[in-house]
Amino acid sequence: MGCYDAMFHQKIKDYIKEHREDYIAFLQKLVQQPSTVGNELGAQQLLAERLKSQGCEVDIWEPDYSRLSQHPYFNSTRADFTGSPNVVSVIKGTGGGKSIILNGHVDVVPEGDRNTWTVEPYSGEIKDGKLYGRGSTDMKGGNLAILIAFEALCNLGIPLKGDVIFQSVIEEESGGSGTLACIERGYRADVALIPEPSEMRIFPKQQGSVWFRVTVDGQSAHGGTRYEGVSAIEKGWIVFNEIMKLEKRRNDRITDPMYADNPIPIPINIGRFDSGYFPSAVPDRAIIEGRYGIAPGETIDAAKQEFMQCMATLDQIDSWFTEHPVQVEWPGLRLPPGGIDLEHPFLGVLTQNFKNVTKEDPKMEGSTWGTDGGLLTTVADIPSVIFGPGTTHMAHFTDEYVELDNIFECAEIIALSVIEWCGVRI
């Protein structure tokens, strides 16, 4: 560590220490904004106002639905983005350095049944060093980590050579239109870091996922003469099993060491099996819906093709499917896989700074879920890495929380990594 590095490190440490209570209070305010899909405005205004008050230029805009919806990677359940702006702020570099995007989503999934929460879902209540609330871990705690790093670099006046782009985006949980809109607006960088809740692990590989729906036909009959019908439940179970065999074949191919400890690196999860409505009738239709994991490096189209091929050969298992082929649709979520090459220099920078701050080696894994990194990598060719403070298993769950110490440690590592990556004009 050179003397400049040591000086910057101390400055960052001091900045974080000095502003800790202020940032915790801000995170509480951010969590208190219930920024579910369509309700992101309050949280985005908080962020934009804060950045402006520190002298940062802020780009705040509502994505143009009619234009964005033409994009081949567009995927949304909405009909427009009115009242749901993105917020982007840039520290312009002096030139000659590498640039970085720090990207986090402000949207949160719904809180579900409030009665199952032991804290108010949008309270931001703090107990034992943990801040509770929907979105605290996924991913407002992560957003705070990149905000701290960004503001520290801005306020400390460290003359970076490369650009630092802070992005608070909408819609990650619903298909990624916020990040897609940032790409369409022209924001580019040499690398992207997304502080999704990896629990301080580094995820150089992020799997993608698409949702599928398979419709299986049976043949109705009265329950008292059920042998005159064909149960869509029984035919649906054949389809279920073939999908599970496909999952095995696909996962047997995964040799990526990032997934070495993962029993099923790219799972196919069947999340819905719905057949029949009347106890005394043979059900004539089954709907099977699920989430289809896409391997890092695989294209969505190739993965879909393999699935379709599997469904097209069901008649080899049961001749029923010759006359009654299943229908396959791809409604809902579609997240391409993302990632960064294991030899990419930013990964070295991040790893080294992790060691410097924590005195430990980081855990490196492949993510089990999709992120906006998939769009950055696939659409904009920006290598993307996940590294965030949130508690992985609390994402989308009741009593979601984030550990405050992790946020500040993460912010410190990110700030130092950005300084090293972007370079400083001495």
- In 316-371, where does DSSP find H-type helix? 320-323, 345-358
d(C-alpha 203, C-alpha 94), whole Å: 30
With binding defined as CB under 8 A, does residue 239 bind a copy of itself? no
The answer to whether the Cα torsion of 388, 172, 305, 326 is positive or negative is positive
Buried b (16+ CB within 10 A) or exposed e, 374-405: bbbbbbbebbbbbbbbbbbebbbbbebbbbbe
**33-41, 266-274, 376-384, 408-416 -> range binding a copy of itself (CB under 8 A):** 266-274
With binding defined as CB under 8 A, does residue 371 bind a copy of itself? no
Residues 132-191 that bind a copy of itself (CB under 8 A): none
d(C-alpha 114, C-alpha 412), whole Å: 35
d(C-alpha 142, C-alpha 206), whole Å: 17
With binding defined as CB under 8 A, does residue 277 bind a copy of itself? yes
Q: Binding-site residue total for a copy of itself (CB under 8 A)?
A: 47
Per-residue interface string for the shown chain with a copy of itself, residues 181-220, x marking contact by CB under 8 A: --------------------------x-x-xxx-------
d(C-alpha 130, C-alpha 406), whole Å: 10
Report the length, in residues, of the chain: 426
Tokens of 95: 């030139």
**72-80, 141-149, 180-188, 363-371 -> range binding a copy of itself (CB under 8 A):** 363-371
Q: Output the smallest distance, CB 241 to a copy of itself, in A.
A: 9
Q: Output the smallest distance, CB 277 to a copy of itself, in A.
A: 6
- In 141-214, where does DSSP find H-type helix? 141-155, 177-184
Q: Output the smallest distance, CB 278 to a copy of itself, in A.
A: 5
With binding defined as CB under 8 A, does residue 398 bind a copy of itself? no
Q: Output the smallest distance, CB 82 to a copy of itself, in A.
A: 27
Of residues 176, 267, 336, 339, which one binds a copy of itself by CB under 8 A? 267
Beginning with the edge strand found earlier in the chain, give each strand of the sheet holding 126-127 in spatial order: 126-127, 130-132, 401-403
Among 51, 60, 48, CA closest to 86:
60
Nearer to a copy of itself, 57 or 228 (CB): 228
Of residues 175, 197, 293, 390, which one binds a copy of itself by CB under 8 A? 293
Nearer to a copy of itself, 133 or 290 (CB): 290
Tell me the backbone φ, ψ of residue 384, rounded to 5 degrees.
-130, 140
Nearer to a copy of itself, 70 or 225 (CB): 225
Of residues 25, 278, 305, 342, which one binds a copy of itself by CB under 8 A? 278
Annotated active-site residue in 151, 163, 172, 409: 172
d(C-alpha 353, C-alpha 347), whole Å: 10
* Catalytic residue status for 306: no
Of residues 2, 127, 227, 343, which one binds a copy of itself by CB under 8 A? 227
164 in helix, strand or coil? strand
* Catalytic residue status for 172: yes
Tokens of 303: 């993965």
Provide the 8-state DSSP code for 372: T
**26-34, 289-297, 372-380, 408-416 -> range binding a copy of itself (CB under 8 A):** 289-297
With binding defined as CB under 8 A, does residue 35 bind a copy of itself? no
Q: Give CA separation, 51 vs 14, 56, 59, 239, in Å.
A: 20, 5, 10, 52
Nearer to a copy of itself, 23 or 203 (CB): 203
Nearer to a copy of itself, 11 or 334 (CB): 334
Q: Output the smallest distance, CB 73 to a copy of itself, in A.
A: 18
- Nearest 10 degrees: CA dihedral of 104, 395, 330, 328? 160
Residues 299-338 that bind a copy of itself (CB under 8 A): 332-333
Provide the 8-state DSSP code for 140: I
d(C-alpha 291, C-alpha 370), whole Å: 11
Positions annotated as catalytic residues are: 107, 172
Binding site for a copy of itself (CB under 8 A): 207, 209, 211-213, 222-227, 231, 233, 236-237, 240, 263-264, 267, 269-283, 286, 289-291, 293, 332-333, 367-370, 395-396
